Structure 1
Amino acid sequence: MADALKIGIAGLGTVGASLARILQTRANALAIACGRPLTITAVSARSKGKDRGFDLDGIAWFDDPMDMAEKADIDVFVELIGGAEGAADQSVRAALSRGLHVVTANKALLAKHGVALARMAEEKGLLLNYEAAVAGGIPVIKTLRESLTGNHFSRLYGIMNGTCNYILTRMEKEGLSFADCLKEAQRLGYAEADPTFDIEGNDTAHKLAILTTLAFGSQIAADEIYLEGISNISIDDIQAAHDLGYRIKLLGVALKTATGIEQRVHPTMVPLDSVIAQVDGVTNAVALESDILGELLMVGPGAGGNATASAVLGDITDIAKSRPGAQQVPILGRPAHLLEPYAKAEMTRHEGGYFIRLSVVDRAGVFASIATRMAENNISLESIVQHAKSAASGDDTKNIILVTHATMEHAVRQAVAAIKGEGYLLGEPQVIRIERTKAA
């Protein structure tokens, strides 16, 4: 049997502790599968005295992950600290500079510095693996980097944030408000004390940017993503969507167009009979559309200690099985220096159409005015109906629900702006894109 692969783990939170326990309790099985032992020789965390459920005997402790990256007797540096800057970025760069393979679950780090880190690793013939950075335990990175080589991708989309999916699921199934569902998600540990990063779509955007690069061969462009969160989704929207045959999900969507790449994260209405509409709770799902395979939908646990640790462990075992000097799989799907400059395509014609909810003063002529504003912007309506008022609405108000056929983004925005100027609108209009999915 070959020499042991010596592993250093930086960050012993839920994922890091789970990974360490798995490496210790399944050491024999892993050694047989990999052809060599996988041994933890160093760890780094803030508090040494905390009981994390694994044996620290014989493992070197480092208070500073930089010290571990620079000095520890390790072959693989596992970064589970988090964050795009500071200790995570510095220690990963130090590990690569020293000639260590790196495994990370840090989507924020990759979204900001992924291309530069890939260049560093490839120049030294090192592996930089990051399966756990996107969709937890779903092997979407390996699928894009290796299994679907040769496919040309046209679109990818998915549910990539368990917090948002949990909130939207509870709102629909139990009729709870967004605020109540968020509080419950925080109590259960699904949402952070400050949930902004999740509920406003930033977490999904980081993951989408990484998948976009793998699918389309462009440089990572997390700052070029159209972004809407779910904080303004109401029970009215949830109920109206269901009555129309849809369910609301926060999706990340990327597609290749004639003018470039379109990336967007926003609440989306998907058909009730589609597979992705059935993905509830903290579960994630990613769909890939390609010319050879068609559509592939992968569903699984998107977060949590064991799910994420499983993905990290898979990356470590890939390193353990790799042959020194062998040609490595490009870290971002193609060599970093061959990634194309990112060309942003503006959001134009949306094939699925739009759902528009307007809360208006109940008076004569409102229906006609709304229809006129839509026609002036060449928007064809599939339906326009008065919907049940919410409990908080007064008798002199009503909700008007519009569903459009495929139309242009700017046309919808212009029509809504014109309606806002008419004087009968109460509050902000709600505009949600309808996504046509193939998996049903």
Structure 2
Amino acid sequence: MSGPLRVALAGLGTVGAGVVKLIEVNRTLVERRAARPIQVVAVSARDRNRDRGIDMSAFEWVDDPVTLAARDDIDVVVELIGGSDGPALALARATLESGKALVTANKAMLAHHGIELARMAEAQGAALKYEAAVAGGIPVIKGLREGAAANEIGVVYGILNGTCNYILTTMEKEGRAFNEVLEEAQRLGFAEADPSFDIDGVDAAHKLSILASLAFGTRLDFEGVAIDGIREVEAADIAYAETLGFKVRLVGIAQADANGLFQRVHACLAPVAHPLAHVDGSLNAVVAEGNFVGRLFFQGSGAGEGPTASAVVADLIDIGRGEFGPAFAMPVDSLTALPPAAAGDRVGRVYLRFTVADRPGVLAELTAAMRDAGVSIESLIQRGNTENGGVYLVMVTHEVPERAVTDALARLHGSENILGRPMLMHILDF
């Protein structure tokens, strides 16, 4: 057995404390699998006096986490500070510049600076590992980078945010309004006090951009992700979707082809026969379609102390064994820079929910706009009074180019018969 792998932990929130606990509880197993001891040497956190449920007195505390990168008694730094810039990025850069291994759970930092950090790791021959950054305890990074390495991946998609999935599936089961369920999620700790990154789709977009790079061998392009969250999803949408044979889920989809790199996070309708329709609560799930392996389906806990700590320590075990390669499955210079693919060229079915005035001629106006834009309607539901005195009118289209739906909505813009902004959700067809 080799000498110990000496670890510094920066950030001792829920996950950081979980890493310490896991190493302690599973020490014998972890050391057998790493073929050497894994020893936490030093830690850094803002609050030394916080009760973390575990004895931290054995570790050296430092106030400035960036100083951990320069220490000769540390082999690997675990960054759990969070944030795309600031101390987290400074620590990541300093760690890799010093030739030390870096383990991070920071999807925002990777989405914005992953290429830079991967290039630094390559230059220094250092490990850059981030299994915990996407889908928590689900080994999807290792699955794509190693298990599916021989395959051409056609598409990768999934439920990448547990907060949104908890809200949507609770609305589904209990028929409650979005705001009510969000407030409950905040009380239960499933949602942050400021839930914007989650419910507006930004968190899922960070993760999707990382998955896309791994799956397709393309350069990270977070700015190219079209992002739309779940704020506008109403209980009525959930109910109508169920009537039509669907479940509403926030899904991130990435696809690379001759048209470029398509990346989108959006609320969509998953057919009840699709595996994603059965991913409930705060679970995450990722689907990848390989040309030889077929459909790969990963599901599990996407956040929380145990699952995320498990992913962090799995990375430490790999480093302990000397098992690591390029951060994004191939050298940075081999990654392809693809332009964003135009969404208007995509063909599929669409769910549209209008709130309309309850008077004659409204349905004729809507269907005429669809006809003139070349949109064929597959099914239509009209029922129920809304709070503003209108009624809901729901359409599901036949397969149609997205630009045609955009054209139809443009034709209806400004109509006095339409009360509020229409709700559009694409139907998952993979």
CA-to-aligned-CA distance 1:194-223 (integer Å, 9 cap, x gap)? 111110000000000000001111111101
- Uncovered stretches (5+) of structure 1, i.e. residues with no partner: none
1:405, CA displacement in angstroms? 1.2
For 1:125 and 1:422, locate their aligned partners in 2 and report how far apart those are by CA, in whole Å: 61
2:348 match: secondary structure = coil
Q: Is the 8 A contact 1:82 1:106 kept in 2?
A: yes
Which residue, out of 430, 433, 439, partners 2:426?
Answer: 433
CA-to-aligned-CA distance 1:274-308 (integer Å, 9 cap, x gap)? 21101011000000012111111111000001110
TM-score (norm. length: structure 2): 0.97
What residue in structure 1 maps to residue 303 of structure 2? 303
TM-score (norm. length: structure 1): 0.95
What residue in structure 1 maps to residue 384 of structure 2? 388
Q: Does 1:423 align with 2:416?
A: yes
Please give the residue correspondences for 1:160-239 in structure 2 after superposition, counting only pairs within 5 Å. 160-239=160-239
What residue in structure 2 maps to residue 369 of structure 1? 365
For 1:337 and 1:402, locate their aligned partners in 2 and report how far apart those are by CA, in whole Å: 46
Q: What is the one-letter code of the residue matched to 1:403? A: V
Please give the residue correspondences for 1:305-384 in structure 2 after superposition, counting only pairs within 5 Å. 305-322=305-322, 328-384=324-380
What residue in structure 1 maps to residue 18 of structure 2? 18
What residue in structure 1 maps to residue 115 of structure 2? 115
1:72, CA displacement in angstroms? 5.9
For 2:159 and 2:192, locate their aligned partners in 1 and report how far apart those are by CA, in whole Å: 18
What residue in structure 1 maps to residue 99 of structure 2? 99
Q: Is the 8 A contact 2:111 2:222 kept in 1?
A: yes
Please give the residue correspondences for 1:47-66 in structure 2 after superposition, counting only pairs within 5 Å. 47-66=47-66
Q: What is the one-letter code of the residue matched to 1:28? A: T
Which residue, out of 376, 387, 396, partners 1:403?
Answer: 396
Q: What is the one-letter code of the residue matched to 1:203? A: D
Q: Is the 8 A contact 2:348 2:402 kept in 1?
A: no
1:259, CA displacement in angstroms? 1.2
For 1:49 and 1:433, locate their aligned partners in 2 and report how far apart those are by CA, in whole Å: 49
Please give the residue correspondences for 1:258-297 in structure 2 after superposition, counting only pairs within 5 Å. 258-297=258-297
Q: Is the 8 A contact 2:254 2:261 kept in 1?
A: yes
For 1:116 and 1:403, locate their aligned partners in 2 and report how far apart those are by CA, in whole Å: 44
1:348 match: secondary structure = helix
Q: Is the 8 A contact 2:347 2:402 kept in 1?
A: no
Q: Is the 8 A contact 1:358 1:400 kept in 2?
A: yes
Q: Is the 8 A contact 2:19 2:309 kept in 1?
A: yes
Q: What is the one-letter code of the residue matched to 2:348? A: G
Q: What is the one-letter code of the residue matched to 1:352? A: G
- Uncovered stretches (5+) of structure 2, i.e. residues with no partner: none
For 1:47 and 1:387, locate their aligned partners in 2 and report how far apart those are by CA, in whole Å: 55
Q: Is the 8 A contact 2:172 2:239 kept in 1?
A: yes
For 2:275 and 2:116, locate their aligned partners in 1 and report how far apart those are by CA, in whole Å: 37
For 2:292 and 2:308, locate their aligned partners in 1 and report how far apart those are by CA, in whole Å: 30
Segments of 4+ moved more than 4 angstroms: none
2:8 match: secondary structure = strand
1:388 match: secondary structure = strand
Q: Is the 8 A contact 1:350 1:406 kept in 2?
A: no
Q: What is the one-letter code of the residue matched to 2:394? A: I
1:71, CA displacement in angstroms? 2.5
For 2:274 and 2:337, locate their aligned partners in 1 and report how far apart those are by CA, in whole Å: 35
1:393, CA displacement in angstroms? 5.1
Q: 1:352 to 1:411 in 2, by over 3 A?
A: closer
CA-to-aligned-CA distance 1:160-191 (integer Å, 9 cap, x gap)? 00010011111111111111111011101111
1:157, CA displacement in angstroms? 0.7
Please give the residue correspondences for 1:64-79 in structure 2 after superposition, counting only pairs within 5 Å. 64-71=64-71, 73-79=73-79
For 2:269 and 2:382, locate their aligned partners in 1 and report how far apart those are by CA, in whole Å: 19
Q: Is the 8 A contact 2:229 2:250 kept in 1?
A: yes
1:150, CA displacement in angstroms? 1.7
For 2:411 and 2:141, locate their aligned partners in 1 and report how far apart those are by CA, in whole Å: 44
For 2:231 and 2:199, locate their aligned partners in 1 and report how far apart those are by CA, in whole Å: 6
Q: Is the 8 A contact 2:348 2:401 kept in 1?
A: no
2:385 match: secondary structure = coil
Q: Bigger CA drift: 203-212 or 248-257?
A: 248-257
Q: 1:141 to 1:380 in 2, by over 3 A?
A: same
What residue in structure 1 maps to residue 39 of structure 2? 39
Q: 1:99 to 1:375 in 2, by over 3 A?
A: same
For 2:230 and 2:33, locate their aligned partners in 1 and report how far apart those are by CA, in whole Å: 43
CA-to-aligned-CA distance 1:121-155 (integer Å, 9 cap, x gap)? 01111110000000001111001111111211111
For 1:98 and 1:330, locate their aligned partners in 2 and report how far apart those are by CA, in whole Å: 17
